[in-house]
Amino acid sequence: MRPPLLPRWSVRSRILASILAVTALGMTVAGGSAYLIQRERILGEVDELLVARVEAARFVVTGEAAAEGEGVATAPEAAFATDREALEAVLARVIPGRNESALGIIGGAAALIPGVDVDVNLAADPAFVARVVEETAAGEVVMGTAVTPIGVLRYIAAPVDVAPTAERAVYVAAVDLEGELADVTSGFVIFALVALGALVAVGFVGWAVAGRLLRPIRRLRQTASRITVTDLHERIPVVGRDDVSELTETVNDMLGRLEASVTAQRRLLDDVRHELRTPLTIVRGHLELLDPGRPADVAATRDLVIDELDRMAGLVDDIELLTDADRSTMAMTSLDVADLTSGVSARAAVLPGHEWIVGETAHVTVRGDADRLTQAWLQLADNAAKYSPEGTPVVLGSTAAGGAVELWVRDRGPGIPDDARERIFERFGRVDAGRGIRGSGLGLPIVAAIAAAHGGYVTLQSGSTGSRFAVVIPVEGAGAVPVESDPLGEGSPE
């Protein structure tokens, strides 16, 4: 069940959101850092320019370059009689460039402006003039940034002092930062617009690609939701060769196994229904015909009914054994095959009507469930006893060869006809209705299931002189059993 509080985001949206987030982050970092680097470079250049302006002003007034932090001129080296004259000369000769302006302040008021057209008129903002006057009151050169109605200004202010007068003269040079940064800013705006366009394009392409990649998963989900237990034959088409196609193949394999298992269960149910119907019909028929007034009739019918019920009980037991063996509920341990052989021969020897001989004993170990292997081997011995003429010898033994060991039983019975070799290993499959001998037809399927659960199989050699059935399983540590090309092939049991 889906947690109720989580927002229902499709995988496609999540993939797209991640792609867009990463792309946007990358673009922002790239654009932002480029913008900041450019901006810092320009601000550095502006500061250098302003310092150069003050140096030029000093040169105009004194004919000498200024030492760092020094004002434009100090008496008495100056060639000018008054501060005003000196300031006029500076403003006339130090020409402001683009986005630049200058101002001469005398006695705390804007008094002189450059003789050329300038982009910013510093005199138009009295607050800025007052600020500069205040900052230069101590007679130092100051540099600062001011946000004013006429623009964001980076400025330098240097006192001019060529004659001792009461009125203080200050030379101010300023640069309009917005104007200076306009190129970088517009460049960044263009970058942002292009980045936005690219992001939209990435969004469309990402949406389409994610949709295309996820299409098989969508198909997988749709098919899976269509499939029910009654209709397991549908498979999902496998497109391409990638992780998704591998997932599709895995799901298809799983559906195949599921279908096989459901089919097997259904067949077992059908078989059981069919097999139980006969004894039930027999019991019902006899009970209907029973004359309760005749004691002999009652006794005979009673025996017959008990007999049929026993058969049904045996059938149910066999079905349980078969489903257990199919379920592979094995208690695997290391087993000595020689011990197993003597154990099985001792038990088989009590089966009446035959001479029991141990033909050969293999001295190897296997990994297996002792009870289940004994059960399978005894089943083969029981069949040999049932289907071969009374008094004939039955030989059993174990033979190790090529990493496998055979647990075999050989009889002198009628053998298995060619056309019945496969059938007798199917559930309820028998030769000629068991040749008149009672049985469920589940014995050999149980043996085959036990062999398979041990990683092996059953072989059969049969001819007119009898049959040889063998359970073939791997010797411990040998890995898998070499598969015989035709385990149920013809051949002499000898």
User: Does 416 sit near ligand ADP (CB under 6 A)?
Assistant: yes
User: Does 387 sit near ligand ADP (CB under 6 A)?
Assistant: yes
User: Does 61 sit near ligand ADP (CB under 6 A)?
Assistant: no
DSSP state letter for 404: E
Q: Which of residues 104, 206, 368, 439 is near ligand ADP by CB under 6 A?
A: 439
Q: Residues 6 or more apart from 110 whose CB is under 8 A from it?
A: 103, 104, 122, 123, 126, 129
Considering the complex, state which of residue 354 and residue 454 has its C-beta at the smaller distance from ligand ADP.
Answer: 354
User: Does 384 sit near ligand ADP (CB under 6 A)?
Assistant: yes
Task: Count the residues in the chain.
Answer: 494
What ranges make up the beta strands (E) of 236-382?
A: 333-336, 355-358, 365-368
- Give the shortest CB-430-to-ligand ADP separation in angstroms: 3
Q: Please list every residue from 197 through 216 that binds ligand ADP, using CB under 6 A.
A: none
User: Does 424 sit near ligand ADP (CB under 6 A)?
Assistant: yes
Using CB under 6 A, which of the segments 296-304, 344-352, 423-431, 485-493 binds ligand ADP? 423-431
User: Does 411 sit near ligand ADP (CB under 6 A)?
Assistant: yes
CB 427 within 8 Å of CB 272: no
Using CB under 6 A, which of the segments 91-99, 130-138, 245-253, 440-448 binds ligand ADP? 440-448
- Give the shortest CB-348-to-ligand ADP separation in angstroms: 13
Which residue minimizes CB distance to ligand ADP? 439
User: Does 431 sit near ligand ADP (CB under 6 A)?
Assistant: yes
- Give the shortest CB-427-to-ligand ADP separation in angstroms: 8
Q: Residues 6 or more apart from 174 whose CB is under 8 A from it?
A: 50, 100, 101, 102, 103, 120, 122, 153, 154, 155, 156
Q: Please list every residue from 456 through 475 that binds ligand ADP, using CB under 6 A.
A: 467
Q: Residues 6 or more apart from 297 whose CB is under 8 A from it?
A: 290, 291
CB 410 within 8 Å of CB 396: yes
Strand partners, 439: none
Identify which of 92, 94, 103, 100 has the alpha carbon closest to the alpha carbon of residue 46: 100
- Give the shortest CB-413-to-ligand ADP separation in angstroms: 4
Q: Please list every residue from 364 through 383 that binds ligand ADP, using CB under 6 A.
A: 383
Handedness of CA 84, 89, 92, 98 (dihedral sign): negative
- Give the shortest CB-242-to-ligand ADP separation in angstroms: 48
Number of residues that bind ligand ADP (CB under 6 A): 19
Q: What single letter denotes the amino acid at residue 80? A: F
What phi and psi values does residue 190 have, to the nearest 5 degrees? Answer: -65, -45
- Please give the residue ranges that form the binding site for ligand ADP (CB under 6 A): 383-384, 387, 411, 413-414, 416, 424, 430-431, 434-435, 439-444, 467
